Amino acid sequence: MAGSTPSKSGTRRTRISAAHKTSDKPNNRHWRKHFLATLAETSNVSAAARKARIDPSHAYKVKRTENEFATQWREALCEGYDLLEMEVLHRLRFGEPKDGDAKFDNATALRLLSQHRETVAKERAIRDNADVEEVRASLHKRLLDMRDEVLASRKAACGE
């Protein structure tokens, strides 16, 4: 059988050519920016993977194993859904050109938006929560600095 080799157990295993293997070493991460940009534009993982010249399964694997990439993925999808929502609103408000080449499926777009409403809401909540945590940390630091200043001025007033 061409393209396969016997394994230790005697069963045949298909060899994966080097062209199909995707390494994600630091020098081979260039695909990510293309993937995420296309994901934000299209909300379509397959289209994003094609643009980035990777297999979609590789993108899903990296998403499962790297929290930072998973966060970037969710942010790109949120951006994509925001764009889709704006596009749908524009079409519903102003209509579509009658002689346009590409037909836009408003029903499918609305269905997609409603299916992913919860996901987008969760991502926005995560972002908002992160912002709240930053504000709290900043306020806490400022209060500690103010306390230190008050203690220092009291010490100076007492002549210590």
pLDDT at 1 over 80: no
Task: Give 78-99 pLDDT, tens digit per residue.
Answer: 888 888 888 888 777 777 767 6
The Cα 124–Cα 132 span in angstroms is 12
Structure tokens at 62: 């990296």
| Burial track 77-108 (b if 16+ CB lie within 10 A, e otherwise) | bbbbbeebbeebeeeeeeeeeeeeeeeeeeee
| Mean pLDDT over each residue of the chain, to the nearest integer | 78
DSSP string, 80-131: HHHHHHHHHHHHHHH---TT-SSPP-HHHHHHHHHHTHHHHHHHHHHHHHHH
Task: Give 40-69 pLDDT, tens digit per residue.
Answer: 998 889 999 999 999 999 999 999 999 999
Global confidence as pTM: 0.54
pLDDT at 124 over 80: no
Could you give the C-alpha distances from 36 to 41, 81, 144, in angstroms and in order? Answer: 9, 13, 40
Quote the pLDDT of residue 24: 55
Q: How many CB atoms lie within 10 A of CB 57?
A: 10
Contact of 13 with 4, CB cutoff 8 Å: yes
